[in-house]
Amino acid sequence: MRTWMVAGNWKMNNTIREAIDLAKGVKDGAAGIKGGEVVLAPPYTALQSVYETIKGSQVLLAAQNIYFEDKGAYTGEVSPAMLKDAGCTYVIVGHSERRKYFYETDEGVNAKAKKCLQAGLKPIICVGETEVEREKGVTEFVIGIQVKKALHGIDKLDNIVIAYEPVWAIGTGKNATPMEAEEVHRFIRNVVGDMYGEICKKIMILYGGSVTSENIGELISMEDVDGALVGGASLKIDSFLGIIRNITEKQK
Ligand code: PEP
């Protein structure tokens, strides 16, 4: 039986003070919630303050990125050990904004995912097709390559989360329908099954792309949708808690 997860990706938003307030609101609002995980991914500057705020609660910390070397002359980068030291449990890897603006490749995503695992961090690996790719009917082709390359050379699936985030749905208000999401989630689970066998039933696959408290109910009802990676709606306490509440309602 898979549990659920809701992860808030704050992107390049929130000062330290704002981050602490938001994290405190989420921590208080999510207190007592059972059967799943709530994760917050603040910008690097607020990681440690958010960790101090949520420490001891059921809310966990994620970084939005990682570098795949241990230390050295890599100006502007942050290592796995630094993220562990700041209190991270998870790391978002290969978000489409990183692929688009910072030219991250599938090979780089793979290197980062491996490095997370070596360091005891859990990667949330993002995959997703563009609008043009969907229109051309190559969604499964594109997602298949992204998943296989991201997992290349990784022998165990434990501690890996995959997030299906159609690029056309991120920050656009145009979410995938529950059926569209389910089709791709099932496809991803099958690709993982071809690589690892039966254990694919255990991997958590999140949906991301304009998730709100209004649309999460139907999305989470789909068999292969195990939770959400949330951008915009994670920046307001009420909308983020509304998403968590609606998931837990569906699990009853
Ligand atoms: C994201 O960036 O991961 C995301 C899903 O953003 P939004 O919820 O704003 O579409």
pLDDT tens digits, 209-227: 999 999 999 999 999 999 9
Q: Which of 206, 210, 216, 239 to mutate to test the pocket of ligand 1 (most atoms within 8 A of CB)?
A: 210
Instruction: For the chain, give every domain's residue range.
Output: 4-251
Q: Which atom number of ligand 1 is nearest to the Cα of residue 211?
A: 8
Q: Which atom number of ligand 1 is nearest to the Cα of residue 172?
A: 10
CB 128 within 8 A of CB 96: yes
The confidence score (pLDDT) of residue 35 equals 87
State the catalytic residue, choosing from 37, 95, 97, 133. 95
Residue 240 DSSP one-character state: H
Q: Which of 98, 100, 126, 229 to mutate to test the pocket of ligand 1 (most atoms within 8 A of CB)?
A: 229
Q: What distance in angstroms lies between residue 238's CA and the mean position of ligand 1's atoms?
A: 17
CATH architecture of 4-251: Alpha-Beta Barrel (3.20)
State the catalytic residue, choosing from 37, 165, 180, 182. 165
Q: How far is the CA of 83 from the CAs of 112, 148, 194, in angstroms?
A: 13, 26, 32
Identify the residue whose C-alpha is closest to ligand 1 atom 8: 231
Burial bucket for residue 48 (CB in 10 Å: 0-12, 13-18, 19+): middle
Identify the residue whose C-alpha is closest to ligand 1 atom 2: 231
Q: Which atom number of ligand 1 is nearest to the Cα of residue 9?
A: 3
Cβ < 6 Å from ligand 1: which residues?
Answer: 9, 165, 170-171, 208-211, 229-233
Q: What distance in angstroms lies between residue 152's CA and the mean position of ligand 1's atoms?
A: 26
Q: What distance in angstroms lies between residue 138's CA and the mean position of ligand 1's atoms?
A: 22
The confidence score (pLDDT) of residue 211 equals 97
pTM beyond cutoff 0.75? yes
Sign of the Cα pseudo-torsion (197, 198, 203, 205, in order): positive
pLDDT tens digits, 12-41: 999 999 999 999 999 999 998 888 999 999
Identify the residue whose C-alpha is closest to ligand 1 atom 7: 231
The confidence score (pLDDT) of residue 251 equals 73
Q: What distance in angstroms lies between residue 8's CA and the mean position of ligand 1's atoms?
A: 9
Q: Measured between alpha carbons, how far is 218 from 188 in angstroms, rounded to an integer?
A: 19
Judge whether 183 counts as a catalytic residue: no
Report the Cα 57 to chain-centroid distance in Å: 20
The confidence score (pLDDT) of residue 1 equals 63
All residue ranges of the chain with pLDDT < 70 are: 1, 252
Judge whether 18 counts as a catalytic residue: no
Q: Which atom number of ligand 1 is nearest to the Cα of residue 169?
A: 10
Q: What distance in angstroms lies between residue 5's CA and the mean position of ligand 1's atoms?
A: 15
Q: Measured between alpha carbons, how far is 159 from 81 in angstroms, rounded to an integer?
A: 17
The confidence score (pLDDT) of residue 252 equals 57
